[in-house]
């Protein structure tokens, strides 16, 4: 008998193999390709081809069910990748797995407002919980999970990569005990094997984790929660370039599970397309005051005075800025040139502690130059302040206080994240200075002041989502202060009118943004990005021009623009982008699959445009 087999983690189309016994679709098999052993998935039985086929070596214990195969086929078609790449996202089901009905009674009592949110969610298969920071969304999630478990089903709780906070883990463990398992890329292979075994014997009813947790072999799935659903971390930056938030909705439909998306600053697409419940206010009584300063990205005297004021009251402080290192750029005063990476067309970031300039794209590092590489002038200066420089200056100003950095350079492991957050909540740290990591759903207990520097650099990005990103980020950081009592937010911006108009009403901002996007951008139009990269500039340019010619055959697909990417070169490869849009998803995907004959990367629903 002949079978079509899709090789896991392979860009190839399904290949034909033979086997002398009956196999089912979804069986995991071992085969050879070019004398190498590979794992594959039986897709279907097929007719005997004209050529001689290789035998399937063995049949493994695992399998994929029909629903998983159907979802993988969708991923392959929609995200323009091979079926083998799509199936490789999933962990296969073990044979003879058990399901045990578990029961739990949580001690959590919902407020009247939370109860209304809970009842709204129970009435809808898919819903958006649009809850202010500190309004008690987690309590509502827990009640929904409790209901799911007591109905004889299991739940998946998704969080963004860095948003897998120790506090949330602790909270879920306290409530669900051994019924919950935490899953993300940093846990060991041994721990993963233990979780999969416990899942197979019915011991686990809740999987909490990052986007990869969505693909675990969960029988009787009844609920998927996507917390902080607005977060870009749900979008994969590698093929298949899927968005776990969007796939959660598909999983819900195909597996007949309820889906809850939750956020204080929901994405525009979720706000427009889903039934929503507005959960207002904070769980604790709190008041917030906003202060604005119209100047560039710097640690001004006004900021220092405000920090001093809060330190006097023994309040803790968080300082947000979008740039890590000491400074983003080193510039020559005489000729105006930045010191750029030799392999990427980006400025090198200054890391004083390492006496180095570092490229944050390819990790190339070099000594700090004493003179300009272009004109040999020694009049070099730094601009766009970063986290390390802010920490250094605050330590000079407040030498008796404990000031820590909270960014990817400093917090590189799950243990460091846990240790820093614990120390901060135990009041062992007075000021925490960080990048977007600060905004990722962490629950800080005693923050009296949030300082926001450099938000204009996000607002001014060449990206149609710039307003949404800047507004969402500002509200997420601002929401970390005054969780229990009085809180103040100090915002440094040249765009006070914009932020002031919407800072206390994100729903008004979303409605305004919908008007701004109408007939041009998502959620009204579908976008597709085609990326070409090659070590030869002429070759990359030639490919993008060939793809532009293909667009003439697709009148329903509009070319927004094409040419050199904003970052023209990364890791020695020249890059060209094409951005397309259409109201017709089918036609856009047809165009995308036509492009597969060329060496390109296809990104449907892109979030990055550089």
Q: Where does the pLDDT of residue 485 fall: very low under 50, low under 70, confident under 90, or very high at 90 and above?
A: low
Two tokens, residue 570: 């990364």
Q: If we measure between CA atoms, which residue out of 174, 218, 172, 224 comes closest to residue 195?
A: 218
For residue range 341-360, what is the model confidence (pLDDT) as tens digits?
889 888 888 888 788 888 88
Q: If we measure between CA atoms, which residue out of 320, 230, 346 comes closest to residue 610?
A: 346
Q: What would the mean pLDDT of 410-416 be, rounded to a whole number?
A: 78
286 has pLDDT over 80 = no
For residue range 26-35, what is the model confidence (pLDDT) as tens digits?
999 999 999 8
283 has pLDDT over 60 = no
pTM for this prediction: 0.91
298 has pLDDT over 70 = yes
Q: If we measure between CA atoms, which residue out of 413, 493, 483, 486 comes closest to residue 451?
A: 493
For residue range 570-597, what is the model confidence (pLDDT) as tens digits?
999 999 999 999 999 999 999 999 998 9
Percentage, residues of the chain above pLDDT 90: 69
Residues 283/415, Cβ–Cβ less than 8 Å: no
The pLDDT assigned to 186 comes to 78
CATH number of 112-279: 3.40.50.300
The pLDDT assigned to 84 comes to 96
Outline which parts of the chain fall under CATH 3.30.70.260: 526-604
CATH number of 286-324+386-517: 3.40.50.300
The pLDDT assigned to 243 comes to 98
Percentage, residues of the chain above pLDDT 70: 97
The pLDDT assigned to 415 comes to 79
Q: How many CA atoms lie within 13 A of 572 on its CB side?
A: 3
Hey, is 389 helix, strand or coil?
helix
Cα separation, 245 vs 260, in Å, equals 10
Hey, is 74 helix, strand or coil?
helix
392 has pLDDT over 60 = yes
Q: Where does the pLDDT of residue 413 fall: very low under 50, low under 70, confident under 90, or very high at 90 and above?
A: confident
The pLDDT assigned to 140 comes to 96
Q: What would the mean pLDDT of 162-187 be, rounded to a whole number?
A: 83
464 has pLDDT over 80 = yes
Q: Where does the pLDDT of residue 437 fall: very low under 50, low under 70, confident under 90, or very high at 90 and above?
A: confident
Q: What would the mean pLDDT of 207-234 be, rounded to a whole number?
A: 95
- Dihedral (CA of 234, 453, 320, 349) sign: positive
CATH number of 526-604: 3.30.70.260
Cα separation, 450 vs 447, in Å, equals 7
Q: What would the mean pLDDT of 75-92 be, rounded to a whole number?
A: 97
326 has pLDDT over 90 = no
The pLDDT assigned to 428 comes to 95
Cα separation, 74 vs 79, in Å, equals 8
Cα separation, 590 vs 582, in Å, equals 12
Who has greater pLDDT, 610 or 363? 363
User: What average pLDDT does the structure give for the chain?
Assistant: 91
Residue 274 has what DSSP assignment? S
Kindly provide the b/e burial profile for residues 352-385, where b requires at least 16 CB atoms within 10 angstroms of the residue's own CB: eeeeebbbbbbebeeebeeebeeeeeeebebebb
Class of domain 2-87: alpha beta
Who has greater pLDDT, 162 or 163? 162
Considering all CA atoms of the chain, what is the largest pairwise distance in Å, rounded to the nearest integer? 84
Q: If we measure between CA atoms, which residue out of 597, 592, 594, 593 comes closest to residue 578?
A: 592
Outline which parts of the chain fall under CATH 3.40.50.300: 112-279, 286-324+386-517
240 has pLDDT over 90 = yes
The pLDDT assigned to 385 comes to 82
What residues contact 387, with CB distance under 8 A and at least 6 apart? 321, 323, 324, 325, 405, 406, 407, 409, 410, 433, 434, 435
Cα separation, 587 vs 565, in Å, equals 25
Q: What would the mean pLDDT of 14-18 be, rounded to a whole number?
A: 96
Residues 415/188, Cβ–Cβ less than 8 Å: no
Hey, is 223 helix, strand or coil?
strand
Q: What would the mean pLDDT of 97-103 be, rounded to a whole number?
A: 87
Outline which parts of the chain fall under CATH 3.40.1440.60: 2-87
Q: What would the mean pLDDT of 148-166 be, rounded to a whole number?
A: 85
Residues 483/134, Cβ–Cβ less than 8 Å: yes
């Amino acid at each position: 008998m002949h079978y079509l087999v899709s090789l896991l983690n392979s860009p190839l189309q399904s290949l034909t193999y033979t086997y002398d016994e009956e196999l089912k679709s979804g069986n995991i098999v071992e085969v050879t390709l070019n004398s190498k052993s590979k794992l594959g998935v039986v897709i279907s039985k097929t007719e005997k081809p004209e050529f001689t086929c290789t035998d399937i070596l063995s049949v493994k214990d695992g399998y994929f069910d029909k629903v998983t195969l159907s979802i993988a086929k969708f991923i392959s078609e929609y995200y323009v990748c091979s079926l083998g790449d799509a199936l490789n996202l999933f962990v296969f089901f073990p044979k003879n797995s058990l399901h045990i009905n578990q029961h739990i009674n949580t001690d959590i009592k919902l407020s009247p407002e939370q109860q209304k949110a809970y009842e709204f969610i129970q009435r809808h298969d898919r819903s958006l919980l649009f809850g202010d920071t500190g309004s008690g969304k987690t309590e509502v999630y827990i009640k929904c999970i409790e209901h799911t478990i007591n109905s004889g089903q299991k739940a998946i709780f998704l969080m963004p990569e860095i948003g897998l906070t120790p506090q949330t883990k602790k909270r879920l463990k306290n409530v669900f005990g051994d019924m919950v398992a935490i899953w993300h890329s940093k846990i060991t292979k041994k721990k993963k094997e233990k979780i999969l075994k416990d899942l197979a014997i019915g011991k686990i009813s809740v999987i909490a984790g990052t986007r990869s947790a969505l693909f675990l072999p969960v029988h009787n799935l009844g609920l998927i929660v996507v917390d902080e659903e607005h977060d870009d971390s749900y979008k994969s930056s590698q093929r298949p370039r899927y968005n776990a938030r969007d796939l959660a909705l598909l999983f819900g439909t195909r597996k007949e599970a309820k889906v809850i998306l939750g956020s204080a600053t929901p994405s525009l697409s979720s706000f427009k397309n889903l039934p929503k419940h507005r959960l207002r206010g904070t769980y604790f009584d709190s008041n917030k005051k906003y202060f604005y300063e119209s100047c560039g990205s710097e640690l001004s005297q006004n900021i220092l005075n405000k920090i001093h004021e809060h330190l006097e009251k023994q309040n803790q402080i968080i300082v947000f800025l979008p740039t890590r290192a000491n400074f983003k750029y080193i510039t020559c005063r005489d000729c105006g040139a930045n010191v750029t990476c030799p392999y990427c067309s980006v400025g090198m970031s200054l890391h004083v502690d390492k006496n180095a300039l570092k490229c944050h794209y390819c990790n190339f590092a070099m000594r700090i130059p004493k003179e300009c590489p272009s004109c040999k002038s020694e009049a070099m200066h730094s601009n766009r302040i970063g986290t390390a420089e802010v920490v250094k200056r605050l330590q000079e100003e407040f030498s008796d206080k404990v000031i820590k950095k909270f960014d990817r350079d400093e917090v590189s492991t799950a243990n460091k994240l846990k240790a820093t957050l614990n120390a901060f909540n135990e009041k062992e740290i007075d000021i925490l200075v960080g990048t977007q990591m600060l905004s990722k759903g962490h629950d800080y207990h005693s923050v009296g002041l949030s300082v926001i520097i450099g938000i204009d650099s996000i607002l001014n990005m060449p990206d149609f989502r710039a307003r949404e990103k800047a507004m969402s980020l500002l509200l997420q950081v601002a929401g970390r202060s005054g969780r229990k009592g009085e809180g103040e937010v100090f915002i440094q911006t040249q765009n006070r009118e914009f932020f002031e108009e919407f800072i206390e009403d994100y729903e008004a901002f979303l409605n305004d943004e919908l008007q701004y996007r109408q007939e041009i951008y998502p959620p009204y139009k579908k976008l597709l990005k085609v990326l070409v990269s090659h070590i030869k500039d002429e070759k990359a340019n030639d490919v993008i021009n060939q793809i532009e010619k293909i667009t003439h055959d697709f009148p329903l697909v509009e070319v927004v623009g094409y040419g050199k990417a904003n970052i023209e070169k990364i890791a020695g490869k020249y890059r060209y982008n094409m951005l397309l849009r259409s109201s017709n998803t089918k036609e856009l995907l047809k165009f995308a699959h036509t492009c597969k004959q060329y060496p390109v990367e296809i990104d449907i629903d892109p979030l990055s445009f550089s």
